[in-house]
Every structure is written in C-alpha cells, then in structure tokens.
C-alpha cells in the first residue's frame, strides 16, 4: 500500500509521522534522539529505507546517523560491531575537517566576521543532508561555517569539496543571524556535474564540474542590507527549490524577495508580485506542476511571524508574480510562529501533498496541493526541518 513518511527534525529530537495515501489518519513516533537538535533528516531517492540524519548538540557536537530500515533502527555509519551487549555496528561518522591541502586549490582559513575582521573557519554543525539520486552511498552535507562535504561511503567519512570555500569571494562571506550556514543543496537530476548551493549570507553558487570549481550565481538579486545591493556575493539567500523535470529553473526565497531563474542561475528576476510581504524562509515546488510554487510570507526580518496573526501559505500556479492565499484549515488569528527554511516539503502522490512545520511545534499537511490543511502533529518541540518520503 502506498503512503507517506514525514521526517520531522526538531530542537529536541526527531519524529516520524506516517499515514497511508489518503493522508487522513496519522501516527507519530516516539521521539528519536531525544534531547538533541535534529537539524535535518532526509531519505534516499533510490531506497526509501535509507535515511540520513544530522544530530547536533552544543555540548557534544555533530553526529551523523543512518537508518537502513526506514527509521526503525539507527546507527552511526561505518563502525565495527560493538562488544556485547552493545550490539550492532556503530562508528565514527562525524569527522568534518576543512580541507587545507595544497592540492585542492585555495583553501581559506578565514572569512569575514560580524565586526569586519577576519575569523577562522570553524565547523559547528550540519544544516542539510542531500542524498544522491544516482548512488545510494553518496550524500552531501551543507555545514556551518559554510562549506560543502561529500561522503561516498554511506556517511562514514566526509571530504570537503574545497573549491567552494576556496572561491576568491570566500574572505568576504559573512554569517547571517543564524550563523554562516550552507543550507541548500540542489542536485541536477539530468547532469551529475551540476550542483547548486546557497549560503547565508553569501548567496547562491553553481558548480558544473561535480563540485571542483564554483561560480556565484546572484545576478539580478538586490539586497539593500549590503553596501552594493547588486554585489556578486553577500546576499542572504534563505532557500531554493527546483522541479526535477526542469532543473534550469530555480525558485528562491531570499531574505526579502522571491526570485526565479530560468537559466540555471545566470539571471534572476523577482516574482514577489502580489505577496503581502516577500520576506520568508522556505520555498517549495509542486511535485507534478513545475510552475506551481509555495511560500509562507513572514511579516519582516525582525518580526518573524505571519501578518496579523494569520498563518497563510501562498501558492502561485504561474511560477511567481500571481499569488493566492491558502488558509483553509490554518489558524487565522493569534498565530505568531515562524516556518524555518528546511521545514517545508512535498510528497509525490497523485494528489500532491504539501507539508510544513512551525516553530510552535505544529506540522501541517495539505493532501490536495494546498487547498485544505490539517495539523498532523501539535505540541512538538520547535520544528527545524520537514521532509517527506512517498512510499509506493
């Protein structure tokens, strides 16, 4: 039977929420990794039983977990079998070390700090995990301080794609309010050499050689919080999304502005149109309609909640500019939550489901492309990320 598995990362653990294809009745798991910050969980497009998870803590640092049975059991990948009674293999999966070797080009040691001085690059956590669509054991990790790592052994060992951090603009990258994080990784399904990433607050970058070299792709972005609003780098990109059938078209939710490119990022145009505010964090594309996109407008960069306490998802069926509010089933008074950048996802069932989680601990689902919404979880810890696996 088909169904969905919703992977929810929260401030205090992860939850797996499941339903059949009707998406009417939901079961919520016990907390996984209780007490840890779960920045992101994502399943492999090749095998839905394989799920990677980023588990972090201010005390104990970064852990990478992997499940090979759809989230029933988890291990830190790659270890030897532990002495009894501890049991199954569990190894070292958290060694994220910046590449400073001569061979990889121009690895940097510093970036710009808030006060304008240069600051050493320091690893703190994995924000986003992106499993490969073509190889089960390949997975990418976007980290803070901003860099891209890749594992080709199922998450056991990680190697930096140092050409990104080594880009000549690296010393000018600055942290956003949430840290200097690489939060978006889009892999072109038609071209294994093409990778898009986004960094707060540097902007979007593209590689056409599988991650060896990178170029900024921010032409058309305008940000009045940097000295040159149209600078090549320095933009606070919040999230990007792509439909797999049309990988040259990207949609972007920037700090302010919703943007679109149809040439792989070479040129961007604003498509905020009639949105009540174009500040926000996540952006998502409908599974079957490449020009249908979703955002959640947030009042402003200092007031991170919906306008007038009304939680509204906005949908455009024209790839931007013309937007409609989706409110059926969402709270329309006294709602002051935020929706973080990785906390929105879509399933691929015939009637596309849209999902998002809030900083107030709710997870909402619309099984009909956004027309109606239901809370499928209430009172979870602050939701950091939402991903959906479609089970067929």
Partner 1 sequence: MIRVTIPAHLRTLARVEGELEFELDPPVTQDVLLTAIEDRYPMLKGTIRDHVTKKRRPFIRFFACEEDLSHESLDAPLPQKVVNGEEPYMVVGGIAGG
Region from 72-80, 197-205, 242-250, 369-377 binding partner 1, contact rule CB under 8 A: 72-80
Of 59 and 114, the one with the shorter C-beta distance to partner 1 is 59
Residue 22 C-beta: closest distance to partner 1, Å: 36
Is 106 near partner 1 (CB under 8 A)? no
Q: How far apart are CA 162 and CA 144, in angstroms?
A: 14
Is 116 near partner 1 (CB under 8 A)? no
> Which residues face 63 on adjacent strands?
55
Is 86 near partner 1 (CB under 8 A)? yes
Of 22 and 81, the one with the shorter C-beta distance to partner 1 is 81
Residue 20 C-beta: closest distance to partner 1, Å: 32
Q: By C-alpha distance, which of 64, 71, 74, 73 is closest to 6? A: 71
Q: How far apart are CA 377 and CA 15, in angstroms?
A: 10
What is the distance in angstroms between the CA of the first residue and the CA of the last residue of the chain?
Answer: 6
Residue 60 C-beta: closest distance to partner 1, Å: 4
Supply φ then ψ for residue 24, to 5 degrees. -110, -40
Q: Are 347 and 388 in contact (CB under 8 A)?
A: yes
Residue 61 C-beta: closest distance to partner 1, Å: 5
CA distances to 8, 48, 223, 269, 341 from 62, in Å: 18, 24, 33, 37, 20
The site for partner 1, by CB under 8 A, has a size of: 23
**Of the residues 10, 44, 76, 338, which one makes contact with partner 1 according to CB under 8 A:** 76
Is 101 near partner 1 (CB under 8 A)? no
**Of the residues 31, 45, 91, 192, which one makes contact with partner 1 according to CB under 8 A:** 91
Q: How far apart are CA 98 and CA 147, in angstroms?
A: 8
Q: How far apart are CA 228 and CA 122, in angstroms?
A: 27
Residues in the chain: 392
Of 120 and 171, the one with the shorter C-beta distance to partner 1 is 120
Region from 61-69, 112-120, 141-149, 225-233 binding partner 1, contact rule CB under 8 A: 61-69
**Of the residues 1, 25, 30, 59, which one makes contact with partner 1 according to CB under 8 A:** 59
Of 19 and 94, the one with the shorter C-beta distance to partner 1 is 94
Residue carrying the six token digits 């301080």: 145
Is 171 near partner 1 (CB under 8 A)? no
Q: By C-alpha distance, which of 293, 208, 210 is closest to 249? A: 293
Of 13 and 247, the one with the shorter C-beta distance to partner 1 is 13
Of 111 and 125, the one with the shorter C-beta distance to partner 1 is 125
Residue 340 C-beta: closest distance to partner 1, Å: 21
Supply φ then ψ for residue 137, to 5 degrees. -95, 0
Is 54 near partner 1 (CB under 8 A)? no
Is 114 near partner 1 (CB under 8 A)? no
**Of the residues 94, 132, 151, 218, which one makes contact with partner 1 according to CB under 8 A:** 94
Q: How far apart are CA 313 and CA 326, in angstroms?
A: 5
Of 37 and 270, the one with the shorter C-beta distance to partner 1 is 37
Region from 78-86, 230-238, 336-344, 358-366 binding partner 1, contact rule CB under 8 A: 78-86
Is 83 near partner 1 (CB under 8 A)? yes
Site string for partner 1, 30-49 (x = CB under 8 A): -----xx-------------
HEC states along 362-390?
A: CEEEECCCCCCCEEEECCCCCEEEEEEEE
Segment 69-73 long-range contacts (CB within 8 Å, at least 24 positions apart)? 70/5, 71/5, 71/7, 71/16, 71/29, 71/32
Q: What are the start-end ranges of the H helices in 6-72?
A: none
Is 15 near partner 1 (CB under 8 A)? no
Of 123 and 294, the one with the shorter C-beta distance to partner 1 is 123
Q: How far apart are CA 305 and CA 80, in angstroms?
A: 47
Of 81 and 219, the one with the shorter C-beta distance to partner 1 is 81
Per the omega criterion (within 30 degrees of 0), is the bond before 183 cis? no
Is 72 near partner 1 (CB under 8 A)? no
Residues that bind partner 1 (CB under 8 A): 35-36, 57-63, 76, 79-80, 82-83, 86-87, 90-95, 97
């Amino acid at each position: 039977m088909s169904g969905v598995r919703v992977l929810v990362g929260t401030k205090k653990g992860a939850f797996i929420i499941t339903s059949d294809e009707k998406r009417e009745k939901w079961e919520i798991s016990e907390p996984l990794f209780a007490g840890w910050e779960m920045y992101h969980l994502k399943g492999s497009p090749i095998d839905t039983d394989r799920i990677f998870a980023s588990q972090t803590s201010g005390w104990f640092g970064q852990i990478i977990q992997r499940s090979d049975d759809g989230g029933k059991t988890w291990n830190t990948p790659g270890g030897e079998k532990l002495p009894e009674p501890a049991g199954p293999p569990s190894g070292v999966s958290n060694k994220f070390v910046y590449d400073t070797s001569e061979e990889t080009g121009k690895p940097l040691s510093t970036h710009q700090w808030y006060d304008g001085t240069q600051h050493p690059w320091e690893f703190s956590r994995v924000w986003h995990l992106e499993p490969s669509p073509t190889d089960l054991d390949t997975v990418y990790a976007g980290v803070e301080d901003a860099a891209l790592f890749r594992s080709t052994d199922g998450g056991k060992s990680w190697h930096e794609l140092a050409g990104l951090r080594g880009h000549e603009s690296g010393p000018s990258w600055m942290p956003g309010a949430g840290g200097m994080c690489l939060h978006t990784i889009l892999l072109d399904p038609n071209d294994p050499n093409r990778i898009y990433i986004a960094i707060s607050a540097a902007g979007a970058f593209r590689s056409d050689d599988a991650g060896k070299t990178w170029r900024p792709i921010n032409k058309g972005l305008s940000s009045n919080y940097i000295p040159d609003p149209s600078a090549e780098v320095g933009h606070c990109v919040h999230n990007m999304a792509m439909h797999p059938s049309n990988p040259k078209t990207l949609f972007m939710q920037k700090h302010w502005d919703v943007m679109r490119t149809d040439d792989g990022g070479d040129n961007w145009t604003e498509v905020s149109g009639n949105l009540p505010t174009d500040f926000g964090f996540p952006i998502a594309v409908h599974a079957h309609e490449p020009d249908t996109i979703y955002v959640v407008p947030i009042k402003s960069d200092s007031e991170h909640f919906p306008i007038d306490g009304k939680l509204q998802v906005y949908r455009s069926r024209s790839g931007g500019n013309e937007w409609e509010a989706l409110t059926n089933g969402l709270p329309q008074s006294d709602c002051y939550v935020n929706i973080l950048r990785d906390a929105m996802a879509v399933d691929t069932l015939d009637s596309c489901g849209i999902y998002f989680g809030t900083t107030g601990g709710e997870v909402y689902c619309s099984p009909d492309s956004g027309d109606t919404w239901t809370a499928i979880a209430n009172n979870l810890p602050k939701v950091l990320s939402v991903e959906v696996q479609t089970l067929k």
